[in-house]
Structures are given as structure tokens and as C-alpha cells.
A and B are shown apart, each in its own frame.
Chain A
Amino acid sequence: MMRFMLLFSRQGRLRLQKWFTAISEREKKKIIREMTTMVLARPPRTCNFLRWKDLKIVYKRYASLYFCLGVEDEENELLALEIIHRYVELLDKYFGNVCELDIIFNFEKAYFILDEFLMGGEIQETSKQIVNRAIESSDMLQEDDHSEWYDVELFG
């Protein structure tokens, strides 16, 4: 399973954190610090995998953002890399040419998209269409909120 996903900038600013197991805030901060230092110190064109304690760390840089995934030993590194890529594609589809600012200003959306895609440290839905449809429909719900459409649905 995956243990965590972190998004951080080249300057080491954390942009998104998702933890799939319960750990203390202190421990989280320690991991974030170690991941950013470790990953940012890697020279270019090196491999995307690292070992850290009992975990495999898989990371990839997209423009100014690093995506870093901590997975358990039995996980497949290459597919972990593609999980990152698929998430980037989903963000891209939603925001249209996603950039770091989109994630900063719409962090809650970034979480919602991630939740449609991953759950409990496992991949939930690999189809891009289905995930996109789920996110679009929840956006529809938001826009319709003011018309109380949902109340009708609830009692209907």
C-alpha cells in the first residue's frame, strides 16, 4: 500500500500532504522534512526511486512541483510512478494546464480529486474518464446547490 503522498515546490514548500495511515503530527513533520531534503538533493537524471527506512520512495518532478510517494516494500515502483502521472493528468484535465498556483488556491479540490482516485493507500479507480466524471458531477452538485436541488433528490 501507499503510506503517503507529498507535493512540494523546488524551494521545499509543501503544497499538499496526504497520509494513508494514522501517524502523529510530529512524525509527519519529520517525514516531510526528510523527504524534501532527500528528494531535492538528488541530481538531475538520476533514478526516481529511493529507499528510506522500510519504504520505497518514488518521486517525480513536474514543472516546479515535486510529487513524492512513499510506498511499502512490496509495491511496484514503476506503477507508483504512473500513479503520480495519472494524478497529474487528472489535475490537468480539471484545471486545464494545471500549475502550482491552482493547487495552492484550490487545495480542497486537489484533495477531492485525489480522494476519487486513491483510497486507504490503494488505487480506487484507474479509469480517467470515470474519475473525471465523478469530479465533474460533484462540481455540478455544487453549482446547483443554490437551487436546493439536492433536497428534492433526498426526499424524492
Chain B
Amino acid sequence: MPAVSKGDGMRGLAVFISDIRNCKSKEAEVKRINKELANIRSKFKGDKALDGYSKKKYVCKLLFIFLLGHDIDFGHMEAVNLLSSNKYTEKQIGYLFISVLVNSNSDLIRLINNAIKNDLASRNSTFMNLALHCIANVGSREMAEAFASEIPRILVAGDTMDSVKQSAALCLLRLNRTSPDLIPMGEWTARVVHLLNDQHLGVVTAATSLIATLAQKSPDEFKTSVSLAVARLSRIVTSASIDLQDYTYYFVAAPWLSVKLLRLLQCYPPPEDAALRSRLTECLETILNKAQEPPKSKKVQHSNAKNAVLFEAIALIIHHDSEPNLLVRACNQLGQFLQHRETNLRYLALESMCTLASSEFSHEAVKTHIETVISALKTERDVSVRQRAVDLLYAMCDRSNSKQIVAEMLSYLETADYSIREEIVLKVAILAEKYAVDYTWYVDTILNLIRIAGDYVSEEVWYRVIQIVINRDDVQGYAAKTVFEALQAPACHENLVKVGGYILGEFGNLIAGDPRSSPLVQFDLLHSKFHLCSVPTRALLLSAYIKFINLFPEVKGTIQDVLRSDSQLRNADVELQQRAVEYLRLSCIASTDILATVLEEMPPFPERESSILAKLKKKKGSSKLPDLDDSRRTVNGSSEHAEDTEAVNINVNQTCRFLTEELISTDRPHPTSCSATMLPTRTMGPIHTSTDILNLNSTPSSGASLLVDVFSDMANPAPTEGSEDHFPRFVCKNNGVIYENQLLQIGLKSEYRQNLGRMYVFYGNKTSTQFLSFSTSVTSDIVLSSHLSVQAKPVDPLIEAGAQVQQILNIECVSDFSDAPVLNIQFRYGGTLQNIAVKLPVMLNKFFQPTEMASQDFFQRWKQLGAPQQEVQKIFKAQNQMDTDVAKAKLLGFGVALLDGVDPNPANFVGAGIIHTKTTQVGCLLRLEPNTQAQMYRLTLRTSKESVSQRLCELLSEQF
């Protein structure tokens, strides 16, 4: 084999590359490149037609320049010309250039598609492969449109060469990932499944990749693949290591295919057929057994391949979560890896055990390794391995070992890498709360956290300890004593001052009997920290002082002196100044009774899940948090452990928002209903954005608060569960949650004026993983689009875990319509593309303008609209309780003005309004007659336009 320049080396290219390498500086390089670009440009523009070889050489040089990181804005056409060359080498370079420098220039795409089409039709396998590769590399929509029907045909055709089948399978897989809507399932699917039986293992491998991905989306379609996959797997694992010839990799039989088959099986629950199931169990046992055999080679490749199959088998065992024996065996084998000399294996064993810990069958078995994991935490040199050890300790923690695990994590925290400290703090805080039998332990743990890693203790953590202390009177005295002692330390963290200030302000009286912690001593202690603290903490301390005045009348004078000092009353910070002024005033003029009422002890917080969990999830992103987010598990995650935390997950976002609302306008945790509303802190709302954990601020008119509004719907038990059609609920209202599934929540807020509307759509990512390539489009059918126009503003293509993004839709009603536009949402979650279509609640009645009119006007118009096609009447059964106020609210929400004193029967409703469209205005009168005895309604609508009467009647009659 020749060394540096292979095949038909392009000498000019080699010279150019060495020139670039010899450049002494970046400037010299740029200069050389510009010279070359000028040269190529002139060659391409020159009169003399270039021969194929030169064209290839120059295109290749351009490619090299591009890969160096420079922009290339010409040469695409020449590259496309190369595609139709019948010299393989020119064609190949052309395809490479296109694959690397795809351009969404549609003219070119058409030319490229043409070349591809010719090559696919050439029946020359080398050319076909090049073309398929190009499609897979570019993967654009235009290409998917052009070849979506052709590729399945090539894949299943009897006379297709094996290598082409492989390319076709993977090409189809790529297109399915980018444009799933263009690849319809069809009769080819059954034939693809049968490729699992193919003689050629390369074909089987490629086909398995394809099927595993398709089966995730439509499991039913590919159900038959399960038995074939088990059969194939069984043949591989029982084969002698040389049977599979070149598909044996370092004495391991077809490791890639084995892993793919095991992954395919993870799309399904355990087989129901007993024979099949036992065959699969045998396979898994064989894999576990083989992993225990002495190695056939000392090469790391051998052990890697063997263990790759083992880990994938264990993943399947965990996924099935139904064979206790296998689970425990898996756990034991992983246990051996925990002390393996290969760092990679220790890492993977820790990771894999995390998921085992969440199965009820293997949880106990995992726990037996606690000492090894703790020692890993202490001795591992590699931070990523230590991180996995922390994860595993967290996952294996339960009531029996929580004290030990929390203690170990705390002691590790003293030396932990900065990068993972905050996460450990959150984990410790969660475990301490979850497994606290005795709340003094909990309080100690959190104070220790603050002492050891105060900088990494987020607000959620210290808010939470205060909530718990307030809610549990058995721990209040202890908490007061402990914070008092902790505050004695000469240097203590500001977070401790916050907790200490809050708790002593509430419960300092519980320890005031002891002369060592008399009111004055407590006050002096707190005040000694005051000047070292930031503004929000000082503000909190001022509130603690006014609470002291109420608790301990004997220190009133001292505190008033402090409040009265210039440094408070004239503080440059407006918040501090206001507090000092108001508190001082309050303490002077209010009677003891009033003071006692205003400054009463905080009422308990409503019990709810911890917001710390949400924080942890958000922080971790998608990395393994075994019992919190393993989506694979939920498929048949029957174990109690998993379900338990699942419930927590659902609550997390909600909780976080409740908390936010509560905490918005204060720097102290605030119970919802409380005497503290009289505290002047409330008046200061918006200034304290620093405490606003989700960056929502509290100004009612701002966009962000709309969100709170929208999601506060979630507090009402009714609407959100299930993502049934929420559409009808929006007929009479403009805000709420229109769609929700496990991943995504879509909230709406809309406003309409005349024939125009604006809709704010809020997309909330409920998961702990980013949504990538997030895009939306609004589609209307042809009829609708001529009546209603909806313009969507661009939306951010990335939604962070737990975050929301907003999109604005501008709506114009051109003329009356009856259908609704559809909002299509597409994004990538984990590996898969998600597609969601939601009917947007834009209905004709949104363009109502209410009209007031006197009784006689009403009757006059009513008569004018007397033609039979103008009136629509419907009699229908009440679906809800018949309540006058509810009906009124709905009619007003529908958009009409309610007219009193028109109908002689006061139980009836009469309304009027005008529908505004761009082209016309349609006057509308309606009458709704409830019959409570029969539980029926009669609705009559008269408008000047038949279609309007019809549509309004349909919409409104569904509402009662």
C-alpha cells in the first residue's frame, strides 16, 4: 500500500496542503487560502472548459479549505456537475462535497436530486450506495419527499445487492428520523421484519437498527419482530466463537448485532408466549454465564465487546423487571465490576446499578454494595466515576441506610469537586427530608450543609427548612436552639444568618428562658452579623427585629434605637429604608394587641412536595437520576419505588410554580394565607427579583405573570389530566391549558379586538431533558385559510429542561369560518422526534363585540331577521347543572352582551353582539331558554348570515 498519497493522488492538492501546514502564522494561512480561492475562482470562471480531473481537484481543495473552518461561497455547481460524471472518483468527490457542505439552496437540491435519481436507477451497486449515502448525509426534507417511496422499494426488492440493502435500510432510518410524516408504513414493513432472517449478518444489523427505531414509534406494526429477534439472538449467543467468521469481533460473536437485537427487544414488554419467553430467558442466562467465563483474549477489545453485550442484556432485564432471579444475578455481576481495575467498567457498573436500585426485586441486592460504593466515593481518582457513585448512593438510599448515606455524602462534600457540589447539596437536602423520622436530624443535616457548602445551598433548600420548621411544632424549640448555637461561630455563612434570623424571629421565645439565650443576647447575636450581610438578608433581619418587639417587649427600646439610627432610616437602599420607617412607626403607634395580631406567628404552609426535587431535576438535565427520570422504565415500571417518585415528578413543576407565586414578592418564605400580608414587605414586590426563583416577576401586567395565570389553572383538579380534547373548553374562555402530555404542556392566553386576535402560546418542557429542534407551524385547510389567517412569530428552537418558551400568533378573521386551524409541534426529545398536533381554539365567536340595546330595538331587529334561513334553533339536554350564574358567565364569555328586561320571562337569557370579520360585520341576536324541570335548554339564534347562525349555535349549544 502506498503511504502518503493513495489511489490517484491529486498532486496539486498535496502541495496545497503542505503549503498550509508550512504557514507560520494564521495570517500567512489566510493569505495562502485567499490566493488559492482566487485561483480556483478564475479557473471555474475561465473560458476553457475544465476536464473532470481538474474540477475534482479544485472541488477537493475547496472542501479542504472549508474543513479548515473557512467559508466557501462558490463551487457548489461544479460539485453538482461532478455527480453526473461517469468516473467513479469524480462522482465520489462530488458527493463528498455535497454531503459536507449542504446548502438549502433549492435549485441545487433539485439538481442533486436528479443526479441521485439517475444513480439509484443505474443498477450499479457502487453508484447506488453513493447516492443513498448522500441522502442519508443530507437528510433534508426535499430529499425525503423525492425518495420516500423509492427507498423502501429498493430495500425489499428481491434482486437488490446486500450492500445496497444495508445502505437503503439506514438511509430510510435517517429519513424517518428527520421527516417521519413522509415515510408511511406500508406493505414493506412486514418484509423489512423478515430481513431479520437474512443470511447476511450485515443486512441483519442494518435492518435491526431500522426496526428498533420504527418499533419505538409504532410497536404494533413491528410486533412480529420479537420472535425473530429472539431466535436470531439465540443463534448468536449459542454459536461457537468462530462460526460467524468476520462478524466475530475479538472472539465475541457479532457484538453489534447482539446489542441491537437486545435494544429492539427493549421496545416491548416480556413476550407473552411461554416458549418464546423461556427461550429469551435462556439467552439472557447464557450471556450472563459467558461473562463469567475466563477471557479468550487479553485484549481490551475482547472484554469491551463481551461486556457491552452483558450491559445491554442487563438493560433488557431491568426493562422487563419481571425475573427476580435474573435481576439479582445481574446485580451480583455488576457488583464484581465495582472493584474492577478497568475504570470504564467501574463507571458503567455504578451507572447500571442506579437503574437496578429502582426495581423492587433488586433494590436490596444493590444495597449490599453500599460499602464499596462509599469507598469509591472516597478513593476514585476520576470525578466522573465519583459522580456516578453519588448518583448510586442517592438511588439506593432508603429508610434503613439514609443516616449512613447522608453522613457519607456530607463528609464527601467537604472535599468534593466544585462542579458537583450544588447537586450533592440538593441530593442531601432531599434525602434528609424524605427519610427524616426525627426532625432534629433533619435540622442538623441542613445546618451542616450550610456550614460545609453554604455557597452551594440554593434558596429552595433554605426555604424548605423553614417551611418544615414552621409546620412542625415538635422541632421548633430544637431549631431555635441549634441555630442560636450555630450563629455563635465567628464566621458563619450568610445563608445561616437568613435561616437563623427567620427562625429566631418566629421561635426565639422558645429558648428565651435560658439566660444564655435571653432576648437581648439573641438580638445582639443577630445584629452582630447585620453589617456583614447583603441587602436582602438585612431586610430579613429587620423583619426578625420587629417580630422580636412583639415577642419580647423588654427589648423594644433597644430595637427602636437601632431602627431609628441614620444608617437605617436614611439607608440608601429604598427597601431597607422603607422597612425601617414602617417598622419603627408600627412599633410606636400600634397597641400591643394590634402588634400581636400583625406579627403573629406564621401559620403552617400547605403541605406539598419539595421544590428542591424540581431544582435537582433541572440541574441534572438528562443525566441519570435513576428513580426520577428513566423513561424506559415507565413502560412497565411496576415497582412501587418507581411509581412513588413518578407521582413526585408530576407535581414538581406545579409545586415550583406555587412556590414562586408565594415567594415572589418577599425575601421570606410566605405561607399563603397569613397575617403577614400586613407586613410592608408586600408593597415592595417587584424590586426583589433576586428571590424570584423562576424569573417570573410579579407585575400583573407583564407577560411573565400571564404564565402564572395560565398555569394556575393546574390548581383546579378538573382540566389538565389526560390530554383529551380541550378545545370545547375554550369556546367561552380565552386562557388555559390546551394540551398536556408527559413531556409537554401548552398553555394559551389570547385576546381579541374586532376582527383581530393575538394568542400567546406557552410551551412548557415538563421533562429533565432539553427539547431540541423545536419548531411549530400553524396549518389550516384550503377553505379555512381563505377565511382566517394565522401568523406565527418564530419560536426558540431549544427549550431547556423545566423551562417555558412563548410564541405569539397573530390572527385575522377575514370572513366567517367554521373549522379550526391546527398547531403542529415538532421537537426532538432524547433520541426521538415528537410530533403533536393541537386544534387551536380560534372560533368564530372570538370575534364578537357585545352590543347593548334597548328592548324595543331588540324586538325590531329580531323581526327583521325573521327569514327562515337566518334563524337556527336547537333544543338540547343540559349536560351540567343548570345554574343561572354559570350560564350568564358562559354567555358573557361567549362574547355577547346580556340584555336585561327584554324577555318577559326573567329566567331566560337574551343577548346581542356583532361578529367582526375583515369583509363584513354580522349582527347576532340570541335567546336561551332554560327549562329546569325537563333539564333542557332551547337556544335560538338569529343573524343575517345563515352560516354564522349555524356555527354559533353549534359552538354555544355544546357549552351547557
Which A residues are within 8 Å of any B CB, using their own CB? 1, 14, 17, 20-22, 29, 43, 45-51, 53-54, 72-74, 76-79, 81-82, 85-86, 94-96, 101-102, 104-109, 111-112, 115, 119-130, 134, 137-139, 141-143, 145, 150-151, 153-154
Contacts and interface: CB of A to CB of B under 8 A. Distances in A.
Given A79-B259, A120-B173, A139 B6 contact: yes
B17 A104 contact: yes
Contacts of B301: 82, 85
B831 A127 contact: no
Given A47-B346, A77-B344, A108-B96, 13 more contacts: A43-B382, A46-B381, A54-B770, A76-B311, A78-B304, A78-B348, A105-B5, A106-B9, A108-B63, A111-B96, A124-B202, A126-B256, A142-B88
A105 B4 contact: yes
A45 B382 CA distance: 8
Interface of B: 1, 3-9, 14, 17, 21, 60, 63-64, 67, 69, 86-89, 92-93, 96, 100, 102, 122, 124, 126, 132-133, 136-140, 163, 166-167, 170-171, 173-174, 177-178, 201-202, 205-206, 209, 213, 245-247, 249, 254-257, 259, 263, 301, 304-305, 307-308, 311-312, 343-344, 346-348, 381-382, 384-385, 621-623, 632, 769-770, 772, 830-831
B124 A154 contact: yes
Given A81-B304, A124-B167, A124-B170, A76 B259 contact: yes
A122 B3 contact: no
A154 B4 contact: no
A144 to B, nearest CB: 9
A21 B346 CA distance: 31
Contacts, number: 200
Nearest to B64: A107
16 contacts: A1-B177, A43-B381, A49-B344, A73-B622, A73-B831, A76-B311, A115-B133, A119-B166, A120-B171, A122-B173, A126-B202, A126-B205, A126-B247, A126-B257, A142-B89, A153-B124
B14 to A, nearest CB: 6
Given A54-B830, A124-B170, A126-B249, A47 B384 contact: yes
B3 A78 contact: no
* 5 nearest CB pairs, A to B: A120-B174, A78-B308, A46-B382, A127-B246, A47-B343
Nearest to B208: A122
Nearest to B122: A154
A58 B772 CA distance: 21
Nearest to A83: B256
Contact of A95 (B1, B21, B102): B1
A122 B209 contact: yes
Contacts of B382: 43, 46-47
Given A47-B384, A119-B133, A106 B348 contact: no
Contacts of B96: 108, 111-112
B347 A139 contact: no
Nearest to B166: A124
A138 B126 contact: yes
Contacts of B344: 47-49, 77-78, 81
Given A125-B202, A154-B122, A47 B102 contact: no
A87 to B, nearest CB: 13
A5 B249 CA distance: 21
B86 A154 contact: yes
A95 B344 CA distance: 30
B247 A73 contact: no
Contact of A119 (B88, B136, B201, B348): B136
